[in-house]
Structure 1
Amino acid sequence: AFLLCASIGACDRSALATSDPDVSVADSLVASWVDQKLIPGAVLLVAKDGQVLHEAAYGLASVADGVPMTPSTVFDLASVTKVMANTLAMMVLSDRGEVLLDAPVSRYLTDFVGDGRELVKVRDLLTHRSGLPQWVPTYYHASDKDEAYAYIRSLSLMWPAGKERNYSDLGFMLLGLIAEKVSSQPLDEFVMRELYDPLGLESTAYRRVEVAGDKSMVSAEERVAVPPLADVVFARTSRGNPFERRMIHDLRFGYEIAGDADAWSEWRNWWLDGEVNDGNAFHAFGGVAGHAGLFSTARDLYVLLGLMLSRGEYEGNRLVSPETVANFLGPTGDRQALGWQLPVYAPQGSFGHTGFTGTFVLGVPDQGLALVLLTNRQNFDVDENTEYPDVGPLQRAVTKAVAGVSLPN
């Protein structure tokens, strides 16, 4: 079924052709959120057993310009990058024996040693048990990925390696660097050649940030996102990074950075359109990072979920062994697999991930179900508390509708 809602409040309920009542409920939920202006727009895709049951667009891709959302709108995936780029890269490399999950990180990043760092394993990065800080603004100390790595390497572990799970962007930054080191390719080129091209994906890519001149003197305005994905419509995200800025400047927000919060001032002040939202990915990693930076569509993400649901094979093209897929989806505790999250509100065996920009992917192997829900929740801008709309309840409700599970209390 295909439904296109060209503007906020303009969803044509009679245009829905799906005969699946559960999918109809999910469609109504998303449409209601858009109609109530809780979010600017969304794309919902539901597929079972390799057949797309529903693919619908709602609302606006850009509020200020009145650009309608369509099923082909390209989204900044934020942390969904962690699974749809970095984790998949690790699956390919481990499947080939080129990365050993139980090897220390120092096997690949040889100077990641001292003060307990030599105890951190690749597996620990994938399960968020490295002990690294959850988040820091590396761009206060770095203007490229080498400088960013040097800064991360200088940070003390906050927890013992391999023990407590603490979700960490920094761990996935290191995983991206490991993939590059082992493959001798930039991360964006590796995933394109080994995954996206073989699967025929035409709307999934990183967008590198090019810098002209002396990198130490360049301003945010001079950093420009470049092709691929040069002639597509993007779901616009936020005006700069007000939330991230508050993380640094408001100590009540729960983060504390080293040094003077006013020591860096290259904050973006324009609407981000096809330009990676994440500050670390943009300012320090040139748009290509293991934790954020990937752009894609609902249809392409469905193909990547299909690769997982088919145990490493998609339409006769085997990219990863079934054993590696099973290994990466196995629970490690705390609702965490290798890279993938195991949502408590989804059926047993489900795997997925969310992204800060409002993105969500879910696979349910026992039902052959692939669910993609992409929103541009940031495009209404922050509220008076510097917050964006919480789309977690929508993600859970849609999951309940299509997968038939009860929500946790």
Structure 2
Amino acid sequence: MCTEHGTLNRRRLLQGFGRAAAVAAFAPAALSTRVAEAHGGLAHDQLVPGSPESVGLCSDRLEDVFARISRRVTDGLFPGAVALVARRGRIVGHRAFGTRVRGQDEPVTLDTLFDLLSITKVLATATSAMILVEDGVLRLNDRVADFLPDFAANGKAGVKVRDMLRYTSGLPLDGHFLDDPDPESIWQRMAETPLEYVPGTQVLYSDLTYRLLGRLIEEATGTDLDTFAKTRIWGPLRMRDTTFNPSPALIPRTAATGYSELRGRVVRGEVQDDQDYALGGIVGCDGVFSTARDIAVFCQMMLNGGRYGGVRILSRQGVAAMVANQTPWVREADTDVSPLANLLFTPKGYGWELATRRFSNGGMRLGKTAYGKAGGTGTFLWIDPRRDMFGVLLTNHGLPTPFDELGWNRMLDAVGSAEFFDGIVNAVMYD
């Protein structure tokens, strides 16, 4: 058994030192690299396997975290999952549970792809926007209507890119136009949507906003969001399994989500949101599929200040801006009043959700500077810079039905995301 949080387990610690010494004896170059990193170089630039104790985590407590996911799968709360935990550049737990398709004997494997839904907002859209800002193609104070002329309708000419990124655009939560078979007509109708509040005065988490932000990026670059993200983010990071619209070759490795009434089938390898599917599946708010291992690389890049594997994706300043509170006038105490209100109204970064004290889907034990993202299909990632760790929990629970406050609560309770992230923080023996 491990000692209480914040103290050392002597036997575990000595075992960790023994393993480190053995590695050093056979890999002096690697040791010297880490010593150099400790004196001002870039720490753990790439992820490597490691034991929990080697990075100050209790393996018994970590096993408890995984056992609780397994229990939820066994109880039928969702078909399957992959969970990954890393600290100080070491992957200390990576497990698969259950099945890819409900009711079928097709086990989830570590390389299973999941429909991430809203994690798309950070894995693709917000990061792409920040890259374009650093390239000088975009400015945070650029007007959205300069790229999307139809957006100027209904008093929206002054809305800025910054407002889109931080969920303060004034647009409603969503807008569905499933009665319209013409994608270009849908985009026009979305762009012309009237404001619900004065931009820059409150937070309202909005799929509609991020759909249009993705469209803006495509107009600014002359290419689709999938191509841009693969060229500037996922390709350089060697995130080879990360994509919009998985190819036929990837479908057997992809987890199914739920049943679509509109499509008349269980959705597998297609974005579950019907509006995003109608728009072709490459959309700024949803649509990315990925594996836990690929997402871990992205998380480590963020912890590294925008760099991974010798490749720089963003500047340190760009990363810091993305995960800072970009809506400081919004009071957490007034908005963190329920799980759904937490998602919709609490302070935000550029694309990212920020840790709060009460109803975060990342639990209550993450550090004050932690940031993360939830996807409506039951997918979650949270990064805790103070502890230099992150966790990824991907499930194929599928979109809540109906998608309202009760449905959102039920999905969170079924998946147990807060329990997962609280559990991995509880596994920390020392900082």
TM-score range, shorter chain: 0.7 to 0.9
Do the aligned residues in 1 keep the contact of 2:83 with 2:392 (CA within 8 Å)? yes
The residue aligned with 2:288 is 294
Q: Deviations over 1:119-143 (max 9, x none)?
A: 2111111121111121121232353
1:338 CA displacement: 0.8
Task: Check if 1:390 corresponds to 2:408.
Answer: no
Task: Check if 1:347 corresponds to 2:367.
Answer: yes
TM-score (norm 1): 0.79
Residues 136, 381 of structure 1: alpha-carbon distance in 2 compared, 3 angstrom cutoff: closer
Q: Which amino acid aligns with 1:307?
A: M
Counterpart Cα distance in 2 of 1:347 and 1:24 = 22
Task: Check if 1:328 corresponds to 2:335.
Answer: no
Task: Check if 1:402 corresponds to 2:424.
Answer: yes
Find the partner of 1:175 among 213, 223, 230.
213
Q: Which amino acid aligns with 2:163?
A: D
The number of aligned residues is 343
Structure 1 alignment gaps of length 5 or more: 1-16, 208-225, 242-266
Counterpart Cα distance in 1 of 2:176 and 2:399 = 23
Q: Deviations over 1:188-235 (max 9, x none)?
A: 10001111111111110001xxxxxxxxxxxxxxxxxx6275354111
Q: Equivalent residues in 2 for 1:370-381 (5 A)?
A: 370-378=390-398
The residue aligned with 1:274 is 269
Counterpart Cα distance in 2 of 1:387 and 1:132 = 23
Do the aligned residues in 1 keep the contact of 2:378 with 2:399 (CA within 8 Å)? no
Q: Which amino acid aligns with 1:272?
A: V
The residue aligned with 2:189 is 151
Find the partner of 1:240 among 243, 246, 260.
260
Q: Deviations over 1:139-159 (max 9, x none)?
A: 323532x22220012221111
Residues 188, 380 of structure 1: alpha-carbon distance in 2 compared, 3 angstrom cutoff: closer
Residues 129, 395 of structure 1: alpha-carbon distance in 2 compared, 3 angstrom cutoff: same
User: Could you say what secondary structure the match of 2:263 adopts?
Assistant: coil
Identity within the alignment, %: 29
Find the partner of 2:236 among 198, 210, 223.
198
The residue aligned with 2:96 is 57
Q: Which amino acid aligns with 2:317?
A: E
Q: Which amino acid aligns with 1:305?
A: C
Counterpart Cα distance in 2 of 1:68 and 1:59 = 6
Do the aligned residues in 1 keep the contact of 2:154 with 2:192 (CA within 8 Å)? no
The residue aligned with 2:378 is 358
Q: Deviations over 1:17-42 (max 9, x none)?
A: 85533422321221121122222111
Residues 39, 81 of structure 1: alpha-carbon distance in 2 compared, 3 angstrom cutoff: same
User: Could you say what secondary structure the match of 1:119 adopts?
Assistant: coil
User: Could you say what secondary structure the match of 1:305 adopts?
Assistant: helix
Q: Equivalent residues in 2 for 1:69-218 (5 A)?
A: 69-144=108-183, 146-207=184-245
Residues 185, 380 of structure 1: alpha-carbon distance in 2 compared, 3 angstrom cutoff: closer
Counterpart Cα distance in 2 of 1:152 and 1:92 = 25
Q: Which amino acid aligns with 1:43?
A: V
The residue aligned with 1:318 is 312
Q: Deviations over 1:64-91 (max 9, x none)?
A: 3221111111100011111111111112
RMSD of aligned C-alpha atoms?
2.3
Q: Which amino acid aligns with 2:78?
A: I
Counterpart Cα distance in 2 of 1:101 and 1:142 = 33
Find the partner of 2:65 among 15, 26, 51.
26
Do the aligned residues in 2 keep the contact of 1:298 with 1:374 (CA within 8 Å)? yes
Counterpart Cα distance in 2 of 1:73 and 1:391 = 21
Do the aligned residues in 2 keep the contact of 1:239 with 1:381 (CA within 8 Å)? no
1:101 CA displacement: 1.1
Normalized per residue, the structure richer in helix is 2
Task: Check if 1:47 corresponds to 2:86.
Answer: yes
Structure 2 alignment gaps of length 5 or more: 1-50, 54-58, 328-345, 357-363
